[in-house]
Amino acid sequence: MSTRPLFHPDLESVTIVGVLHALADPVRLAIVAELRRARDGLNCVETINRIHAATPKSTCSQHFQILREAGLIRSERKGVELSNSLRFDEIESRFPGLIDSILHARDRESANRR
Amino acid sequence: MSTRPLFHPDLESVTIVGVLHALADPVRLAIVAELRRARDGLNCVETINRIHAATPKSTCSQHFQILREAGLIRSERKGVELSNSLRFDEIESRFPGLIDSILHARDRESANRR
DNA sequence: CTAGATAGTTCGGTTTTCCTGGACAACTGA
DNA sequence: TCAGTTGTCCAGGAAAACCGAACTATCTAG
C-alpha cells in the first residue's frame, strides 16, 4: 500500500454534483449504505464483502477514492488497512436530509424488487 | 426533428442509480430544477435559455434524452418542439422526498457560494 | 530477522461513455 | 415555396471507467 497522504476535501468544497456522481454507481451506493449502517470504520475488503460485491481490488480502490474525493467518506490508515467511515454529520450539516433520502430511495427500490 | 417515438420508462423500472446518474451533471440538474419550478411544459431551447447554459444543441438533445430515459421527465411533441415536464408526482410516489432534497441541496450550495 | 500473508495502490491497456460539429428532418409562418 | 426554428442522427475525438498484474507497506509466525 502506498503511504501517500489521503486527500479529503473540506466541507465547503463538497458539491452536490460531485456527491451525486459518486453515488451514481451501484457498488459505491452500496458501500455508502453499509458505512451508514456501521458504527465504526470498516476497511475496504470488509465493506466489499458485506455488500456481496465481486469487484476486483483495483476497482474497489478506485471506488473508495472517488467516494473520498467527493467528500462522502473519511479514510484513515490503520496499519495495513484503511478505516473508512461516512462523513455523515458533516454532509448532513451541509445538505440536510440528502444522504438518507437517497438511501431510503434505494431501500424502496430493492424492497419493490422482491 | 425525427419523428421516432420517444421512449419513457414506466415508473417501476425507474432506478435510483439511473436517477442519480441523470442528475450528476450540472446542466441536467439545472434543467430539472427549472422544470420543477415551471408550471407547464418547456421546450428544450427555452429551458436551456432559462438556465443560462451555453451548451451546444446536440449536447442538449442528449441531456434531455438521458433525463427522459432515466424516467425523470416526460417529453411530448408539440409541432416542431418538445414539451418537457418533470414527472414529479410519479417520482415522488416511488422515491418520496428524493427530488426536492436534491434540489434543496443544490440551492444551498449556490446560496453558500455568494 | 525472515518468510508469508494481507490490504491497498499504481500502472497500462482496453472498453465504454461523453461531447460536439455538421448534416439532416419536421414543422411554421410569410 | 422558402426561410427560420426546433430537435435528432451520426461520426470523430476526448475523457472516464474497468481490471489484471506488478508493486508497496504492514503485520504475524516461526
Nucleotides of D under 7 A from a protein CB: 4-10, 17-22, 24-27
Angular region, A89: left φ>0, alpha ψ -120 to 50, beta rest: alpha
Closest nucleotide to residue A78 (Cα to C1')? D26
Q: Does A112 touch chain B (CB under 8 A)?
A: yes
Residue type, B13: S
Q: What is the pLDDT of residues B27-49, one digit of tens each?
A: 999 999 999 999 999 999 999 99
Instruction: Name the band, by pLDDT with cuts 50, 70 and 90, for residue A48.
Output: very high
* CA–CA distance, A19 with A24 (Å, rounded to integer): 9
Cβ–Cβ gap B16/A29 under 8 Å: yes
**Overall CATH class of domain A11-103:** mainly alpha
The residue extents of the domains of chain B are: 11-88+98-107
Q: At what angle do helices A16-23 and B98-113 cross, to 10 degrees?
A: 140
What pLDDT is attached to residue B24? 98
Number of H helices, E strands in chain B: 6, 2
Q: Per-block average pLDDT, block size 10, for chain B (114 residues)?
A: 84 98 98 97 98 96 98 96 98 98 96 74
Q: Are A1 and A80 in contact (CB under 8 A)?
A: yes
Q: What is B11-88+98-107's CATH number?
A: 1.10.10.10
Beta-carbon pairs below 8 A across chains A and B = 75
Residue range A6-10: mean pLDDT, rounded: 96
Element (H, E) at B90: helix B88-94
Q: At what angle do helices A98-113 and A16-23 cross, to 10 degrees?
A: 20
